[in-house]
Structure 1
Amino acid sequence: MLNSSRKFLLRGTSNAGVSLAGSGSCNITSANPLMKSASLILGSALNRGSYLEVPKFSSVPEAFYNNLFVNRLFHTSTIEKASRVSPAKLARLEYEAQTSNNMDRKAEYLQALFDLEHYQMIVQLVDSGSYSLDHPLIRQIYRASLERIGGVYQENAPRTNYYAYSSQTQQPQQSTPPTFTGTPDNSYINTYNFPHQPQPVILPQKLVVTMDDSFFSRFNKVNLNRSILSMLFSLAIVGLFVYLAYYTPNDPTKQKQGGGGLGSMFGQTTYKPITNVETRFNDVKGIDECRGELEEIVDFLKNPEKFNKLGGKLPKGVLLVGKPGVGKTLLAKAIAGEAGVPFFFCSGSEFDEMFVGVGARRIRELFAAARKQAPCIIFIDEIDSLGGKRTAKDPFYSKQTLNQILSEMDGFKSSEGIIVIGATNLLESLDKALIRPGRFDRHIEVPLPDLRGRKEILDLYLKKVPLNPSVNVETIAKKTTGFTGADLENLVNVASIRACTKNKEQISSDDIDYAFDRIVMGIARTSSINVMNEKDKEITAIHECGHAMVVLLNQKKSSQLNKDILHKLTIIPRGSALGFTASLPEREVHHMSKQQYIQIIEKALGGVVAEEIIYGKDNVTSGCTSDLQHATNIARSMVTRFGMSELGLIDFTEEGSMYQKGPEFSPETKRLIDIEIQKIINSSYERVKAMLKENETELRKLAKELVKYETLSGKEVLDILEGKEVKRSIVGEVEF
């Protein structure tokens, strides 16, 4: 009879746990031949399972430890129930018993097994011949173990038969004593060799094997916690992916089935047009030259039958070319608003993603949606991001989006009423197949607004803010040459913000001037002027007054219709500059003569020449770096691009464009170019030096006043040179 009813849970490679009800007869593993006596086939499978985590003993080798009896047979919870034997101690005792011939060590190990009620294991170990019954304690433990399992102890009985104590009659067989072998690295693997191992006699005891399919039978507590954490982490990843895939941004122009984010890569994109476009041509100012051609397109969209009668075809594409901020997008909206047709807006950068084929699919979906809404307008902003020139070295997948848009524009009929409007500021970068007739039939250049256009744009934006009646809009328009519509809108916005910070009820001319100076020259670093010493202020004032004097002197002697007008000069640092001199053209500039370019070079050299006159040539500072660079670039352009030198009317530019390499010239030609550039710079230097030397007194006087007031307007400079007093006493009252 089995004396113990305790269950031992063994973990193996099978899907279900195995519970053995018995007296701790867990000799199921097949690693030790001694433990085959139970004749359980499950042993080989269980031996391949994971070992139980038992606290290691420092003196037990790693390879031996992994094969210890305590690791292979006992569940941790079973050993913890023993009051006197710990897992670490049992591991140490087993190791010492198997690696030593000391019978005291072996007896101590048998005593530990006896305390754990593993009587049959004790009998098997003693019957193997490795444990001598001459030792009194071993004999006592052996006899007690036999009694526990129903055996009878016989003095001087042969021990070659493991079950000589059985009630069955069996003649003992002689066999070769067992040998204990180790691995090549002397780490014992708990293996016994029996050359003539007899078949064991099964004890008359009942062994019950039950299959336990419960969840907790497969995992111990540690594995269960790890499994739960792993499952929660996986669910979190899946949840995040689903959120990104199905999140839809609040964009009225396009909604994605599958949402934005990752969903836009996989899900179908459904583009929805803007149907109520409120922008009209009256809202677009300063580009009257483009309006005529665009009104013709509007007439196409409104009355296509009128043109179809005479065989006229609606243009498939219109390309708007111009600098950023000139109003290309606003023009496209005005076309849609005037024609009263749906308007599809998209950017060229939103078609391509990290996956191949996404851009081409989105182009197909965009045109499919447009066909359903025809007549309509498709506007693609920054079309150069998807329509760049193709080369033979490009991989096939990199131009799928461009190929698809080429196919779509050739694939639908012009009578469908779909017009594609593209906007770009890099016409030379577009593929020739995209801009040929039949696709983008018309190229419309959107220029910078002229004086009248700037005045119209300023009137449009200034009507929306409270404006002081003293503000002269035409004066503002004159000094904003080169400003785009977006720049003018920003000008009004900055002036409005400044008026609010000053607690004003209306925008004044001072606010407009402040906004202009901030946009053109940057934010004034007023704190830097406070830490500058008087010598640095004086040097900066001399430098800036040199620029101002050259502008004023050239203005007097110039016979050109277009002259530069001195606007303002300051020694308050702005950006990386310690000072600044601003001059504005008298009227709109469309052409530049050689004399005008020479005056620009002379103005740039005025600062360094003024320092040389006042402080000497050896004391000129490095503040002229940007001036010299600017003067050299102008002189080089005069020689290599404009034909304004003795080398003749030849284009000597070597850079070319970003898509076409320029011509190459011989070293001798390059030397001649450098000589001509040097001639222009040197002659300009001599003229400036003569002018400032002649007016050195006025230069010193103006510099002294600039140090005092830090900022002077053009009118104040003229008053100082005429001997008049500046009508203000506060330093820096004129904000710059």
Structure 2
Amino acid sequence: MLKFNQIKLPKFSKKSAIAVAGGVLFLLFVIAIFRSMPSKITLLEYDNYLQAGAIQNAIIDNNEIIIKTQNGNFILPKEMINLNELGQKVAVEMSSDYSFIWIILILVLFGFISFIIFKFIPFKEISKSKNKLEQPLDNISSQITPVVSNISFDDVAGISEVKSELIEIVDFLKNPSRYTNLGIKMPKGLLMVGPPGVGKTLIAKAVAGEANVPFFYQSGANFVQIYAGMGAKRVRELFSMAKSYAPSIIFIDEIDAVGKARGGNRSDEREATLNQLLTEMDGFLSSSGVIVIAATNKIEMIDEALLRSGRFDRRIFVSLPDITDRSDILNIYLQDKRHNVDIDLVARSTTGFSGAALATLVNEAAINALRNGREIITNDDFKAVENRVIDGKKRIHSLSQNEKQIQAIYQSAKALMAEFCSINFNQISLLNDKFGLSDSFLSSKTDLLGLIKVHLAGISALDLIAGELYTNSKDDLKQAKNIAKELVMDYGMGTRIKPDDDEPGLLLEQIRIEVDELVVKMRAEIESLAKFLIENESASKSDVIMIIKRINNG
């Protein structure tokens, strides 16, 4: 049998003892509260207490009366008793607020529980965890700060085509009354579309610099947060601060990160942020003096709601610089450097380079000159680093002379076919083009067939003139197939209302024969325009028409 001193009793720490004592006190406190609560009694029981003189005092509380006796407190409706009779025997008080006693008791109880919590849960840990949660939200405001841009249009080369549209925005920011007095509403949003490195951010800064207004820069990725509600909060604070600094410019780079089309891989946080952005753009007037400029190189991924009228009303397409633009860009980057460079020669050898790639090229050439102990940059420095820049930039497509010839024939055939079929276009270059139907609500079968002919013209021209086909036709073939499928399957413009799966392919074969015949007739114009493209790298619609007239009149 175990002795008393051998029995191991559980050890209680000081904190545990206080907790147990606190628990007991809390239990007694609750019992006392419940015991003090008045109980309901019948009218007969009330009469017995009244006749026996057991009622000590009474309190009228709204439509009820509380009587206090030695046996406890009781409550019954005021209408059931005779207050005059009661008042002759005991003192009757009017309660200013009987519930005030209960509020005091509850506050005391709350204070007691709070004391226990803060006594036994380390406050530092509570404060630390709280700060971790609140810190991202508190830091949002400090991260949204305006800057005053010192960049002007003179500092940005290669934007002659988009400059006219941007000048209107600048003038509106400088002289808003000039437009509002005539009832003119400037676009709330301007979307710049173009490949990476063409200077979309620099253009937005130049607009802010020319207008001399605050510039708020945010990347679309900044709105995509792991904490629920933070992205929407950042959007609200961004627009709120921009309005307070109006006139001002909000620039959202890579807007496709937050404005991606909804559906599919759903993200509630991303959708909440996008909805907040849509709400903010709907919520401010075009006369507020705030203009939103956004940039993307993936316009096809952006939600349609962002692109509708009243949000991003105006779109500007910024393409890769042509030979003239590259010369201007190189001049700007070399103006503060000592050099003996044939800029036109460098511009001709850098087809497909973006503005950012040219900046890297100039910097690498300067480093190469320094490495070789020279203070003056020469063409040899550019030749030495050109391949290094090309290899380091996957998106740069530098064309050889033979590739320029192939691209020139391909693009020339498409442009001439577009002019022949009345398909809209403004400009073509060795690497870029944009052909499309008119902005009318309806498109005819003739329009769709003409667009297919444009996409197939380059293939026919290369087959006829170069005697070879190349991989540059991939995107055009895809477009031609899609249009043919929609024409036959969706619009019922084929030979039968209920077509079979082979009809789109048969239609393409038939159009290819027609295109081959047209390209043979256009050969002189194609070769002449191709020569013009090799020399200038781009051609406007007016240049195409001029060459057609020159060949036909010659």
Label 1:329 to 1:599 Cα distance change in 2 as closer, same or farther (>3 A): farther
| 1:405 equivalent in structure 2 | 277
Q: Structure 2 vs 1, CA of residues 340 and 17 (structure 1 numbering), >3 Å: closer, same or farther?
A: closer
In the alignment, structure 1 residue 345 sits paired with structure 2 residue 344: no
User: Residue 314 of structure 1 contacts residue 417 of structure 1 at CA under 8 Å; is this kept in 2?
Assistant: no
User: Is it true that 1:296 corresponds to 2:168 in the alignment?
Assistant: yes
- Do 2:410 and 2:459's aligned partners in 1 also have CA atoms closer than 8 Å? no
- Offset, 1:384: 0.9
Cα 1:309/1:478, change in 2 over 3 Å: same
Q: Could you say which residue in structure 1 is the equivalent of 2:289?
A: 417
1:553-587: CA deviations, max 9, x gaps? x98x9996999xxxxxxxxxxxxxxxxxxxxxxx9
Q: Which residue is 2:199 aligned to?
A: 327
- Identity percentage of aligned residues: 39
Cα-to-partner distance string for 1:409-454 (whole Å, 9 max, x where unaligned): 1112222211111111111211111111111111111122121111
Q: Do structure 1's residue 501 and structure 2's residue 371 form an aligned pair?
A: yes
* CA separation of 1:520 and 1:242: change in aligned 2, threshold 3 A: same
Match of 1:383 among 218, 233, 255: 255
| Greater helix proportion | 2
Structure 1 unaligned regions, length at least 5? 1-5, 19-230, 246-257, 524-547, 564-586, 604-630, 644-648, 655-662, 681-736
Distance 1:238 1:503 in 2: 62
Aligned equivalent of 2:362, options 479, 487, 492: 492
Distance 1:365 1:323 in 2: 30
Q: Which residue of 1 aligns with 2:236?
A: 364
Q: 1:286 aligns with which of 154, 158, 162?
A: 158
Would the aligned equivalents of 1:382 and 1:423 in 2 still touch at CA under 8 Å?
Answer: yes
Counterpart CA distance in 2 for 1:589 and 1:344 is: 33
Paired residues of 1:495 and 1:507 also in contact (CA < 8 A): yes
Over 3 Å counting, the alpha-carbon distance change for 1:509 and 1:413 in structure 2 is same
Checking the alignment, whether the CA contact within 8 Å between 1:326 and 1:448 is kept in structure 2 is yes
1:465 CA drift (Å): 2.0
Contact 1:491 1:516 in 2 (8 A): yes
* SS of alignment partner, residue 148 of structure 2: coil
Question: How far is 1:392 from its partner?
Answer: 7.9
What CA distance in whole angstroms lies between the structure 1 residues aligned with 2:297 and 2:471?
Answer: 24
Asked whether the 8 Å contact 2:195–2:297 carries over to 1, the reply is: yes
Number of the residue aligned with 1:520: 390
**1:590-645 deviation per Cα after TM superposition (whole angstroms, max 9, x unaligned):** 78844764499878xxxxxxxxxxxxxxxxxxxxxxxxxxx6634666766569xx
| Displacement of 1:331 | 0.8
* C-alpha distance after superposition, 1:289-337 (max 9, x if no partner): 1111111011111111111111012321111111111111011111111
User: Do the aligned partners of 2:278 and 2:306 also contact (CA within 8 Å) in 1?
Assistant: yes
Which of 628, 633, 636 is the equivalent residue of 2:471? 633
Q: Is the 8 A contact 2:282 2:311 kept in 1?
A: yes
Structure 1 residue 667 displacement after superposition: 11
How far off its partner does 1:589 sit?
6.5
> Post-superposition shift, 1:650?
7.0
C-alpha displacement of 1:511: 1.0
Counterpart secondary structure, 1:338? helix
Distance in 2 between the 1:664 and 1:340 partners? Answer: 62
The 3 A distance-change label for structure 1 pair 12 and 271 is closer
Structure 2, unaligned runs of 5 or more: 18-120, 394-399, 413-428, 434-456, 488-498, 517-554
In the TM superposition, 1:534-549 aligns within 5 A as none
Q: Matches of 2:301 and 2:368 in 1, distance apart?
A: 40
Q: Decide whether the 8 Å contact of 1:265 with 1:353 is kept in 2.
A: no
| CA 521–383 in structure 1, closer or farther in 2 if over 3 Å, else same | closer
Distance 1:632 1:273, change over 3 A: same
Quote how far apart the aligned CAs of 1:492 are: 0.6
Shift of 1:274: 3.1
- Out of 337, 340, 347, the position equivalent to 1:477 is 347
Question: How many Å apart are 1:408 and its aligned residue?
Answer: 0.8
Any idea what SS the aligned residue of 1:344 has? strand
Q: For 1:81-480, what aligned pairs fall within 5 Å after superposition?
A: 263-265=135-137, 269-270=141-142, 272-391=144-263, 394=266, 396-467=268-339, 469=340, 471-480=341-350
Q: Counterpart of 1:132?
A: none
Is the alpha carbon distance of 1:600 and 1:366 closer, same or farther for their aligned partners in structure 2, counting shifts above 3 Å? farther
CA apart distance, 1:362: 1.2
Note the aligned Cα RMSD (angstroms): 4.6
Distance 1:458 1:302, change over 3 A: same
**2-side partners of 1:512 and 1:16: how far apart?**
77
Deviation for aligned residue 1:515: 2.1
> 2: distance between equivalents of 1:633 and 1:428?
23
Matched, 1:12 2:11: yes
TM-aligned CA distance change 1:12 to 1:667, over 3 Å: farther
Counterparts of 1:493-642 in structure 2, within 5 Å, are: 493-521=363-391, 593-594=458-459, 597-598=462-463, 633-634=471-472, 641=479
Amino acid at match of 2:386: F
Q: Which amino acid aligns with 2:362?
A: V
SS in 2 for 1:273: coil
Q: Distance in 1 between matches of 2:190 and 2:140?
A: 28
Counterparts in 2 of 1:242 and 1:633: CA distance versus 1, 3 Å: same
Letter paired with 2:252? I
In structure 2, distance between residues paired with 1:328 and 1:496: 25
Are the aligned partners of 2:194 and 2:319 in contact in 1 as well (CA < 8 Å)? Answer: yes
Residues 641 and 652, structure 1, Cα contact 8 Å, conserved in 2: no
Residues 379 and 639 (structure 1 numbering): CA distance in 2 closer, same or farther, change over 3 Å? closer
Instruction: Report if aligned partners of 1:271, 1:366 keep a CA contact under 8 Å in 2.
Output: no
**Which amino acid in the other structure matches residue 276 of structure 1?**
V
Q: CA deviation at 1:398?
A: 4.0
Contact 2:409 2:462 in 1 (8 A): no
In 2, the alpha carbon distance for the partners of 1:513 and 1:358 equals 49
How far apart, in 2, do the equivalents of 1:634 and 1:401 lie? 39
Bigger relative contact order, structure 1 or 2, given CA contacts below 8 A and separation 6+? 2
Q: Secondary structure, in 3 states, of the residue corresponding to 2:309?
A: coil
| Conserved 8 A contact 1:641-1:653 | no
Listed as ranges, the matches of 1:40-55 within 5 Å are none
**TM-score, normalising length from structure 1?**
0.41
Contact between 1:349 and 1:385, CA under 8 Å: does it hold in 2? yes
SS of alignment partner, residue 318 of structure 1 = strand
Amino acid corresponding to residue 404 of structure 1 in structure 2: Q
- Choose 1 or 2 for highest CA Rg: 1
Question: For the residues of structure 2 that align with 1:558 and 1:17, how far apart are their CA atoms?
Answer: 84
Paired position in structure 2 for 1:212: none
SS of the residue aligned with 1:269? Answer: helix
Query: SS of the residue aligned with 1:481?
Result: coil
Contact 1:285 1:453 in 2 (8 A): yes
Structure 2 Cα separation of the partners of residues 312 and 334 of structure 1: 24
SS at match of 2:191: strand
The normalised TM-score by structure 2 is 0.54
Q: 1:506 to 1:322 in 2, by over 3 A?
A: same
- Amino acid aligned to 1:446: V
Compute the displacement of 1:370 (Å).
1.2
Query: Deviation digits for residues 532-552 of structure 1, max 9, x if unmatched?
Result: xxxxxxxxxxxxxxxx9x959
